[in-house]
Amino acid sequence: MPGGPNDLVMLGTASQMPSRERNHVGMVLRLEGATVLIDPGEGTQRQLLHTDRTVTALDAVCLTHLHGDHCLGLPGVLQSRAQERRDELLPLLFPAPSRDDLEHLLRAGLTSQPLPVRPIPVPGDGPVGEVAGLQVEAAVLDHPVPTVGWRFETPHRRHLLPDALDALGLEGPAVGELVRAGQITVHGRTVRMEDVSVHRPGFVVAVVLDTRLCDAAFALARDADLLVCESTFLAADTDLAEAYGHLTSTQAAAIARDAGARRLVLTHYSNRYPDEAEFAAEAAAVFPDVVAARDFDVVTFTRAPDVDDRPGRAGVPHD
């Protein structure tokens, strides 16, 4: 359903190896009333308990790939939904070449109830269709196993301008008729929606995890309001990033800059770097509007009429 707050809760920000401060990667996107769990790494259920999100409130799950640090929390999430007697099947989007791996994962752990899930294999680049009211697009990334990035977009809308309506004497049922029909005749004059409204583009959130630099990463991030991007290594270790199929902080920032994204959120850090501030500092030299996320940070983004809103950050306090 449309409306409500738009935000992203970071459940974990580690890469392959978790640490005392960082859980395996995972996040919950809430966008125009839809709630999507992305890459539920090990410990996802436990992390959720420290937030206001629940497994029963999820509308969909998206997996970028089937490496364990991105998916081992999935069986527990689904089993908990089964315990809650949720009858509707939860859409589960994943790279189609990893179908066998997903089937093995879904059989992990014994449960007395069938898992309430509807797997949706994504074959490759292009639109996936509507999921939970969002338009979803995928693109194949450059990683050693089949991997896709995600792009979520809300519908475009027109925003009525109160001053324009008042000037034409439009109010009450007449406004409703204008919205339904697209135009209305008042005092012998035909008024169109375009005359009393402005186009409001939908929100775009892009998620690029586990990849080398590639064209698909830039395509997913194009004009995104929010780009969530892996930043496994610092620039000094660019050779390691290339060897293992990952990005550095400066490469993530270059994607955001060149793709015209509005805000960049970094995550998926190697545990060789204990301080996220190093990632933020490197990325900020390339792209100024950057957040180096920590576990349980919340990134919010709102849009008010005639305001060029910028997403903000409301983090859980850290010692």
Q: What is the CATH number of the domain that holds 83?
A: 3.60.15.10
Judgement on whether residues 60 and 124 belong to the same structural domain of the protein: yes
Q: What's the domain range around 192?
A: 158-197
pTM value? 0.84
Q: For the ranges 26-30, 213-217, 254-258, 302-306, which has the lowest average pLDDT? A: 302-306
Which of 171, 197, 223 corresponds to the end of one domain?
A: 197
Per-range mean pLDDT, top range of 88-92, 181-185, 201-205, 279-283: 279-283
Calpha distance 45→48 (Å, rounded): 5
Query: Domain count of the chain?
Result: 2
Calpha distance 64→62 (Å, rounded): 7
Counting Cβ atoms within 10 Å, is residue 197 exposed (0-12), middle (13-18) or buried (19+)? middle
Calpha distance 24→72 (Å, rounded): 9
Judgement on whether residues 137 and 170 belong to the same structural domain of the protein: no
Classify each residue of 132-160 as buried b or exposed e, where b means 16 or more C-beta atoms within 10 Å of its C-beta.
Answer: bebbbbbbbbbbeebbbbbbbbbeeeeeb
Judgement on whether residues 217 and 115 belong to the same structural domain of the protein: yes
Q: Is residue 227 part of a domain?
A: yes
Q: Is residue 2 part of a domain?
A: no
Judgement on whether residues 142 and 19 belong to the same structural domain of the protein: yes
Q: What is the pLDDT of residue 1?
A: 36
Q: Is residue 208 part of a domain?
A: yes
Report residue 68 as tokens.
């364990």
Which residue in this structure is represented by tokens 């999921």?
Answer: 131
Question: For the segment 131-189, what is each residue's pLDDT rounded down to a tens digit?
Answer: 999 999 999 999 999 999 999 999 877 778 888 788 877 888 888 888 888 888 887 78
| 174-181, Cβ contacts within 8 angstroms, sequence gap of 24 or more | none
Q: What is the pLDDT of residue 309?
A: 36
Judgement on whether residues 310 and 296 belong to the same structural domain of the protein: yes
Judgement on whether residues 235 and 272 belong to the same structural domain of the protein: yes
Catalytic residue (choose from 69, 225, 295, 297)? 69
Which of 197, 223, 256 corresponds to the end of one domain?
A: 197
Query: What does the chain come to in residues?
Result: 319
Calpha distance 65→74 (Å, rounded): 12
Q: Is residue 1 part of a domain?
A: no
Please, what is the average pLDDT of the chain? 89
In this predicted structure, the answer to whether residue 246 has a pLDDT above a threshold of 60 is yes
251: how many CB neighbours lie within 10 A of its CB? 25
Judgement on whether residues 52 and 144 belong to the same structural domain of the protein: yes
Q: Is residue 185 part of a domain?
A: yes
CA distances from 263 to 28, 62, 210, 227, 293 (A): 17, 21, 19, 6, 12
Judgement on whether residues 310 and 240 belong to the same structural domain of the protein: yes
Judgement on whether residues 187 and 269 belong to the same structural domain of the protein: no
Q: Is residue 319 part of a domain?
A: no
State phi, psi for 212 to the nearest 5 degrees.
-80, 175
- Of residues 72, 76, 77, 82, the one with CA closest to residue 116: 82
State phi, psi for 63 to the nearest 5 degrees.
-110, 130
101 is annotated as an active-site residue: no
Within 8 A by CB and 6+ apart from 162, the residues are none
According to DSSP, residue 230 is labeled E
Q: What is the pLDDT of residue 272?
A: 95
Judgement on whether residues 137 and 217 belong to the same structural domain of the protein: yes
Judgement on whether residues 209 and 193 belong to the same structural domain of the protein: no
Judgement on whether residues 292 and 146 belong to the same structural domain of the protein: yes
